[in-house]
Every structure is written in C-alpha cells, then in structure tokens.
Structure 1
Amino acid sequence: MSDPILTLEEVHTDIGRYRILQGVNLVAPRGAVTMLLGRNGVGKTTTLRTIMGLWRARSGRIVFDGADIAASPTPAIARAGIGYVPEDMGIFSDLTVEENMILAARSGPLAEARRERIFAAFPPLRTFWRKPAGTLSGGQKQMLAIARAMAEERRLYLIDEPTKGLAPAIVAAMAAALRALKAEGASILMVEQNFSVARHLGDHAAVMDDGRIVWTGAMAELAGDRALQERLMGLSLDAHGEP
C-alpha cells in the first residue's frame, strides 16, 4: 500500500435524493489487483462510476497518480490513463469488432503488436474481427468490452463484474486473460461477485457495506478466514468453485 495509484478520501456521492456513497476511503496499490467486494446494492458500481466522473462526488478527494480528479470531466479522466469496463459492457452492436476497437483507441487503428496481444488474450475476437459486435455471444461481448479498455496503454483499469452471467468455461478464459493483464504489471480495481475469481486474481480486497468501506486487507487473509467472509458478506468463499 506504500505506492497507491488511486486513493479515495471521504468520498460522498448522491444520486437524486439518495446518498449512495457515505465517506468512502479506498486505496488501490500500483501494479496490483484490488477487489471491491460486498453484497448487492452497497455502492460498488457507484464507486467506479464516481471515479470515472460519470457520477459526480458531492465531496471528498479522488487522487489518481498524484492528481485530484474529483472535479475532472470523464474524457479527461480517460485521457489521464484510466480504462473503464462497465457492467453493461458498453459496446456498439451495429459496428464491427474492429470498429469498436478503433473507437476505443484515440490514435486510430490498433498497431499490429497491440492487436496480436489482444488476440492472444481473447482468441474469438480474431475470428469475429470484421463481424458486427451484436452477433457475438454474451461471453464474447464481455471479451470485447475488456479488449476495448486495452486498446491503449492504461495505468489503471476499472472493471465491473466481468464474469457475471457467463458459463464456467468462459469465466475460466476471462480469468486467464485478466491474469495475463495482471502479469504485465497492470493496476486493476475490480468489482466481482464470483468470489472464486476474486480469490485467485486479487492481491488486495476492500469490502463495502452501506456506502462505506468496512474492511481492507490482503485478499489471501480474507480468503482464509471463513468467519470474516460470512460476517462481512453473509457467505463463504468456499461456496464457489475454481475459476
């Protein structure tokens, strides 16, 4: 935790008359995978959207690589080096896979080396490169959503539930691709409801409840303490199989 790439300090976010984030304090270390965990509806997605400026924090500081971005517009946050994969994937179904990737890369068509890196992580994208993205399966669309965030070098990836609703074989492929991204030294802040995936990918964990961070520590510590898991999240990681 001595070298954070992202720090949230007492972040409050309201949506209409509802106070969703109520003083979030969170640190994401550089070059590590931080899992943001908790029950449904406690503010995890709101946290990611607030970091990206899609929802504006009412108060608090959001410091990315030494700069406070709490008041920055979303395009400026993206240009600063944060890639975002929303839960709804955000792909353009009528465009081809290639066109989706070009839109995600400000510099235009992908360089061959980067394209091959993405194909190595997600082989189906090579097959469907010039097909409409709407023809992809759910798992392939999720692959495209993550690949779009990889279209340019990012210093931090925010990924919201990438394995939600996917078949086990696709979950395994997705986990392998994220492991490869982690091995390259990427910093990742990830919301994940599949706790087996969280356990195997995460270096650190932060658990949310009622709009606040209620526990932080090593993912291995949380994974090894069934009583702590049940107290914080109401379930045991042991209930989930291998990714």
Structure 2
Amino acid sequence: MSDPLLSLRAVKTDIAQYHILHGVDLDVPRGQVTMLLGRNGAGKTTTLRTIIGLWQPHSGDILLDGENIARQPPATIARKGVALVPEDMGIFANLTVEENMTLAAVAGPIDQGRLDWIFSVFPPLRTFWKNPAGNLSGGQKQMLSTARAMIEERRLYLIDEPSKGLAPAIVSTLARALRDLKLAGATILMVEQNFKLAKALGDHAAVMDDGRIIWSGAMAELASDASLQERLMGLSMEHA
C-alpha cells in the first residue's frame, strides 16, 4: 500500500448508549480510491461521520497526514481539506444551486475553471443554477451534493453511498464524475453498495462487520474471489 493520507487507529465511537465502532484500524492511501464495504449496520457511515468530526470518537486516533484530528470540530477538519458527501445529501433546499455551491467554497470565491468542469460532468447544475435546490429531482440533488465537495480541490473526499436509490443513467453520470476526480489524483474513501460501481472505481477495499475492519486489500482481489465475498459479506459480486 502506498503512503496513507488517512489512518485510523483503534477508533471507538459510541452513540448514546450504543457502541458502534469497536476499534477501527484503517489506512486510506494517498491519491487512490478506497471502498468501505459491508452489510447494513456494520458501522460504515459512523466511520465517515467520525472522521469528519460529526461524531466524536470515544478513543483512538485519526491521523490526517500524521496530524491527529480526532475530536476536532467538523469546521476545523473541513478547513484542513476534508469534504463529506453525506448519504442524505445535506443540501440547503431553500437556497439556490449557486448559493449551495458558494457556501461549499470554503477557501474563497469559486474558481471558474473548476466550475466549468463541474458543469461539464453535471449539466443540470448549470441549467438550474439560479433555482432553489429543493426543486431539483433526487438525482440532481445527488449531483449537487457531490459537486459541492468537488468545487475545490480537497485533500480527502468522504463519499457515503452516492448511487443509493438513483436511476442507472444518473449512476453512470456520477461514476464519470468520480472517475474524473480519481484520474486527477484525488484521495477518496467511499461507502458504496453498488458493487459494479465499487469495482469500477476502487483501488482498495476494506470490509466492515460489527464495527471493525475484518479484511482489507486490493479491490481487484475481492472482486475476483466469489468465495471471499461470500465469507466476508454473504454476497457475491460475481455478476454485479
């Protein structure tokens, strides 16, 4: 594995009386895409939310380029170049598409060249630029949520199930945008249940179960081994 940009060491997270993460150890290599896989309820979303600071770890270290960001507030972590695309999209429905994008540009005014690239991969955002984000379709809202993370070059992109509930054509559009981001050298940690998309984008994979990482390795190794998939997740990606 190449030099990790992000490392989690023995991270434990509790939510109310529930113990969700039970000592997560995870490396996310720099400039590559790591897929975080596992059954529903395994702790994948909690891991992303703990990294960005929305939930505080009970114990353990979260190292971003060697700096321990565990227990720092989300705004501080965001200013260090970490962006989250949440599962619920998290857009501001009463604000326009333009206003949503402007708020996401934490480093200053939106770079026009980067905005033109986003418009090229997500054309509806140009069309509805001045419209309230709440008026967008579900697929267009997911485009906006993803584009907000992409509006600036980030050190780390955390993406939570971007294809969930979307039509195949919209998933293809998202896949192209994420592939462009990957080719530009981005570091991405992504939760995804669509194994076809996971295979297409992932360089590495980590499988969670019961709040722990139970396997990690090359995405190609997992994708080519049906018995391993069955043992780890009770699923087969063979025909996905």
Where 1:45 maps in the other structure, the secondary structure is helix
**In structure 2, how many angstroms separate the alpha carbons of the residues matched to 1:39 and 1:71?**
27
> Residue 48 of structure 2 aligns to which amino acid in structure 1?
L
> Residue 114 of structure 1 aligns to which amino acid in structure 2?
R
**In structure 2, how many angstroms separate the alpha carbons of the residues matched to 1:95 and 1:52?**
24
Q: Kindly provide the CA deviation profile for residues 96-118 of structure 1, in whole angstroms up to 9, marking residues without a partner as x.
A: 10000011112444121121011
Q: Report the counterpart of residue 9 of structure 1 in structure 2.
A: 9
Contact kept, 8 Å, 2:94 with 2:134, in 1: the verdict is: yes
Number of aligned residue pairs: give it.
240
Q: Kindly provide the CA deviation profile for residues 74-108 of structure 1, in whole angstroms up to 9, marking residues without a partner as x.
A: 11100001011000000011111000001111244
Please identify runs of 4+ aligned residues in structure 1 that moved more than 6 A: none
Deviation at 1:72, TM superposition (A): 1.1
Q: Mapping of 1:17-96 within 5 angstroms?
A: 17-96=17-96
**In structure 2, how many angstroms separate the alpha carbons of the residues matched to 1:86 and 1:107?**
20
**In structure 1, how many angstroms separate the alpha carbons of the residues matched to 2:97 and 2:108?**
14
> Residue 84 of structure 2 aligns to which amino acid in structure 1?
Y
Q: Report the counterpart of residue 224 of structure 1 in structure 2.
A: 224
**In structure 1, how many angstroms separate the alpha carbons of the residues matched to 2:15 and 2:166?**
29
Unaligned runs of 5+ in 2: none
Contact kept, 8 Å, 2:36 with 2:44, in 1: the verdict is: yes
Q: Kindly provide the CA deviation profile for residues 36-88 of structure 1, in whole angstroms up to 9, marking residues without a partner as x.
A: 00000010000000001110000000000110000211111000010110000
**In structure 1, how many angstroms separate the alpha carbons of the residues matched to 2:140 and 2:124?**
7
Normalising by structure 1, what TM-score?
A: 0.97
CA RMSD of aligned residues (A): 0.9
**In structure 2, how many angstroms separate the alpha carbons of the residues matched to 1:116 and 1:65?**
30
Cα separation, partners in 2 of 1:47 and 1:130, compared to 1, 3 Å: same
Q: Kindly provide the CA deviation profile for residues 150-197 of structure 1, in whole angstroms up to 9, marking residues without a partner as x.
A: 122201000000000000111111111100000000000000010110
> Residue 10 of structure 1 aligns to which amino acid in structure 2?
A
> Residue 39 of structure 2 aligns to which amino acid in structure 1?
R
Contact kept, 8 Å, 2:224 with 2:238, in 1: the verdict is: no
Contact kept, 8 Å, 2:104 with 2:148, in 1: the verdict is: yes
**In structure 1, how many angstroms separate the alpha carbons of the residues matched to 2:72 and 2:92?**
25
**In structure 1, how many angstroms separate the alpha carbons of the residues matched to 2:239 and 2:138?**
25
**In structure 2, how many angstroms separate the alpha carbons of the residues matched to 1:128 and 1:146?**
16
> Residue 193 of structure 1 aligns to which amino acid in structure 2?
Q
